[in-house]
Amino acid sequence: MHNILAKVEMSYGTTACDLGHYWVFVLTFFNPGANLFVVVQTSLSSGRRAGVCTGLGVALGDAIYSGLGLFGMVALMTQFESLFSLIKIAGGLYLLWYAYGSCA
């Protein structure tokens, strides 16, 4: 079945399988994720300014991750799992430090 769909050419040069991949992308693009829920929860509980700051933080994190992927750092982190573990531990320690600072 896959070979049949792959051979079916659309008038503008896209195969039926490509259209299936695009449809999956559209579905995941419009599917709300955890980031959206964090921004909405923060906005409702702490106000508009906190929600905007959270949204900007999410966007910054996504931009950093995209930049790492662009420069191949994600591939390096999968090759050197100890480096990735170190980054995760450092991130967890930062979150603990941030939580301690917000409670004090």
Q: Is the pLDDT of residue 5 over 70?
A: no
Look up the pTM and report it. Answer: 0.47
Strand partners, 57: none
Whole-angstrom distance, CA of residue 38 vs CA of residue 42: 6
Encode pLDDT of 37-54 as tens digits.
Answer: 888 899 999 999 999 999
